[in-house]
């Protein structure tokens, strides 16, 4: 036709034909005076599938600029361009332009034309980069360049997932309108709706639901969007999901609260509003976790009486053998943030504890302030019946609290409690973070029967704590003669050294030094009879004689000197320790000074000051006189 604008491919095939009337109507609909080359390219994109960035419109072999108006009649050619090859630096340049929100530079790079889906080493594409900074205009530009809206980075995150994570409502709207996959999940199975519920953006949640996102799609842990809305206390998101028909009782399948429902997780954080909302949508109040804990039990456990009363009003706890008011009365008497089962175990209140267990309180929960669980509390206070109840109810005797129930029972000498725990296979080798074992604290406390019980249960006397403590050093330090004798008979010296059975490596604390520091003469005699190394030097420079001299133990000093202790012992090359005479002089222990001088201690030997200087400095005139007479 004579009044037609024809657009032909380079091959000559007709791609688009528009009459003058059609061009005028198109321009009028857009409120424009005429149709531009840019408008023509956008229309051709729907026909040939190529974005405007890969099109060139030619008239008589000349490339027309986007702002030029086209008219009929006329003949134009459409050149379809392949993507230009892009180096790593050019890919990085596009990503940087997106991050820096440089719209003009992004447009310029796309016109090379550069493939917008090229990514860097971690799978980051331009669309994801633009989304990370929440720039809707650049995201729209990239989508116009046919960027893949569902392409994920190396973590499985799509642009829509990133928009939900960053709470970028406008970008999310652009992507959803471009028909991004609203159900495509990240590597951990987290779909955009779950992310939006976790971050609490109600507008994005509503957009996703209008785009028919699966409102019950769970992640790899079995957690639904409603579960995460409840977990994060996002009441508005939870309401939107429930009104849209979300299932109230989908359970998680992994982690600490495996088997937990949204009602359980809301109860566990004390979220009264969300608990009330879920109950109005008839959430199951009795559904328990895999560990057996119910919403009522966990609300009791964290002492949230407002949540407890709400759950009781909805029919929870009907199977309890006695009124729940018993627990409520007990809860009113404890500190507001106390874990109720821990408090009941500490108080030895069997009735309250049994009711809490009937309500499926978490039996292995622990008080985060002291990091102790109910069983540890019962064992620490020697509540045998309470410990037995908890064990029979399935408490983990080797649970996740730092200090085990067996440790406490041994520390405080609760023999029957320790027997109970060992009968159910409590681990005698479980230690604290400091490396302290039950046998060590039992020895330190002088609990002979408990020590014998542990040894019968194969507790190892050669175990050593982080700072060198051993069962023998603890017994020696506290002067428990019978225990020292027992441990020596059991071969306890093997705990101190593989090279020398009587000394111990430098990082270990010598039992002889421990006993000497506290002046336990009878213990010293036992150790010396066992041929302990009397001049063993600890890593801090301490010797048994220096400890005895420092604390003024006359009999101990005399015993050590008679056993051959070196009155001038000082580890070669050390700058931070003094010989026994200097230590005794500084503290004014006259009788010890006399013993050391009689043993030919050198009055002039020192590191940080002579014996005479130390005695004079602290005003010990009798010691000064003794040292002067000795030739100082």
Shared fold status for 88-294 and 320-414: yes
- The yes-or-no verdict on residue 400 having pLDDT over 70 is no
Check pLDDT > 60 for residue 190: yes
CA distances, 424 to each of 207, 382, 397, 413 (Å): 55, 17, 8, 18
Q: 350 near 386, Cβ under 8 Å?
A: yes
pLDDT of residue 536: 82
CB proximity list for 158: less than 8 A, separation 6 or greater: 128, 149, 150, 151, 152, 180, 181, 184, 186, 192
Split at pLDDT 50, 70, 90, the class of 505 is very low
Chain-centre distance of CA 340, in angstroms?
24
The domain segmentation of the chain, as residue ranges, is: 4-80, 88-294, 320-414
What pLDDT digit, counting tens, does each position of 346-374 carry?
888 888 888 888 777 778 765 555 557 88
DSSP 609: S
**Close Cβ partners of 41 (under 8 Å, ≥ 6 residues apart):** 52, 55, 57, 66
Instruction: Please check the confidence at residue 572 and state whether its pLDDT lies above 70.
Output: no
Question: Which secondary-structure segment (H or E) carries 59?
Answer: strand 55-59
Region 320-414: CATH code: 1.25.40.20
The arithmetic mean of pLDDT across residues 163-191, rounded, is 95
Helix or strand (DSSP H, E) at 70? strand 69-70
- Give the architecture (CATH level 2) of 88-294: Alpha Horseshoe (1.25)
Query: Worst-scoring range by mean pLDDT, 246-260, 402-416, 488-502?
Result: 488-502
How would CATH label the architecture of 4-80?
A: Roll (3.10)
Whole-number Cα distances in Å, 367 to 81, 364, 377, 398: 67, 10, 10, 16
Q: pLDDT higher for 345 or 276? A: 276
> Averaged over 324-332, what is the pLDDT?
68
The pLDDT confidence band at residue 161, using thresholds 50, 70 and 90, is very high
**Which of 408, 418, 348, 411 is CA-nearest to residue 383?**
348
What pLDDT sits at residue 574?
46
Q: What is the pTM of this model?
A: 0.62
What distance in Å separates the CA atoms of residue 294 and residue 220, rounded to the nearest whole number?
23
* pLDDT bracket for residue 126 (50, 70, 90): very high
342 pLDDT tier (thresholds 50, 70, 90):
confident
For 123, other C-beta atoms within 10 Å of its C-beta total 14
The better pLDDT of the pair 320, 219 is held by 219
Q: What interhelical angle do 554-562 and 590-598 show, nearest 10?
A: 10
pLDDT of residue 501: 36
Total Cβ atoms within 10 A of residue 625: 12
């Amino acid at each position: 036709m004579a009044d037609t604008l024809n657009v032909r491919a380079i091959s000559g095939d007709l791609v688009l034909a528009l009459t003058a009337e059609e061009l005028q109507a198109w321009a009028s609909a857009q409120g424009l005076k005429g149709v531009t080359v840019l408008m023509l390219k956008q229309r051709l994109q729907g026909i040939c599938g190529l974005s405007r960035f890969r099109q060139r419109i030619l008239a008589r072999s000349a490339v027309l600029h986007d702002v030029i108006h086209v008219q009929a009649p006329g003949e134009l050619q459409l050149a379809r361009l392949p993507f230009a090859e892009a180096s790593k630096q050019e890919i990085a340049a596009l990503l940087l332009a997106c991050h820096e929100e440089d719209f003009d530079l992004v447009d310029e790079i796309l016109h090379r034309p550069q493939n917008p889906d090229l990514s860097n080493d971690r799978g980051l594409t331009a669309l994801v980069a633009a989304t990370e900074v929440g720039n809707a205009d650049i995201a729209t530009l990239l989508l116009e360049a046919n960027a893949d809206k569902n392409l994920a980075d190396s973590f499985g995150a799509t642009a829509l997932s990133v928009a939900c994570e960053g709470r970028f409502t406008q970008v999310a709207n652009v992507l959803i309108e471009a028909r991004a996959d609203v159900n495509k999940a990240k590597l951990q199975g987290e779909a955009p709706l779950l992310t939006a519920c976790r971050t609490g953006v109600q507008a994005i949640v509503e957009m996703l639901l209008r785009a028919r996102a699966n409102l019950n799609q769970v992640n790899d842990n079995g957690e639904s969007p409603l579960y995460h809305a409840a977990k994060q206390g996002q009441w508005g998101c939870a309401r939107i999901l429930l009104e849209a028909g979300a299932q109230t009782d989908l359970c998680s399948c992994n982690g600490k609260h495996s088997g937990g429902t949204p009602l359980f997780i809301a109860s566990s954080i004390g979220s009264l509003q969300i608990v009330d909302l879920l109950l109005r949508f008839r959430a199951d109040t009795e559904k328990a976790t895999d560990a057996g804990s119910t919403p009522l039990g966990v609300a009791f456990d964290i002492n949230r009486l407002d949540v407890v009363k709400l759950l009781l009003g909805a029919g929870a706890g009907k199977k309890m053998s006695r009124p729940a008011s018993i627990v409520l009365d007990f809860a009113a008497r404890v500190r507001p943030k106390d874990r109720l089962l821990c408090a009941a175990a500490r108080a030895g209140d069997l009735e309250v504890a049994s009711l809490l267990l009937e309500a499926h309180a978490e039996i292995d929960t622990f008080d985060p302030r002291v990091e102790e669980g109910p069983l540890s509390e019962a064992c620490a206070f020697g509540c045998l019946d309470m410990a037995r109840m908890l064990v029979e109810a399935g408490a983990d005797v080797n649970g996740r609290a730092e200090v085990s129930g067996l440790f406490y029972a041994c520390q405080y000498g609760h023999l029957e409690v320790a027997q109970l725990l060992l009968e159910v296979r409590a681990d005698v080798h479980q230690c604290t973070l400091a490396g302290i074992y039950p046998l060590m604290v039992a020895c330190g406390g002088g609990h002979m029967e408990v020590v014998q019980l542990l040894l019968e249960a194969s507790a190892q006397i050669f175990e050593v704590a982080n700072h060198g403590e051993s069962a023998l050093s603890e017994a020696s330090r506290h002067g428990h003669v019978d225990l020292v004798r027992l441990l020596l008979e059991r071969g306890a010296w093997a705990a101190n050294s593989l090279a020398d059975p009587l000394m111990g490596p430098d990082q270990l604390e010598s039992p002889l030094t421990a006993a000497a520091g506290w002046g336990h003469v009878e213990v010293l005699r036992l150790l010396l009879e066992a041929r302990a190394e009397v001049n063993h030097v600890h890593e801090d420079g301490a010797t048994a004689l220096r400890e005895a001299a420092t604390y003024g133990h006359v009999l101990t000093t005399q015993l050590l000197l008679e056993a051959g202790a070196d009155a001038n012992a000082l580890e070669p090359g050390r700058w931070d320790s003094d010989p026994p005479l200097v230590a005794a002089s500084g503290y004014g222990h006259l009788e010890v000074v006399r013993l050391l001088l009689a043993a030919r201690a050198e009055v002039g030997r020192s590191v940080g000051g002579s014996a005479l200087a130390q005695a004079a400095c602290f005003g010990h005139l009798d010691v000064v006189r003794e040292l002067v007479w000795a030739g100082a």
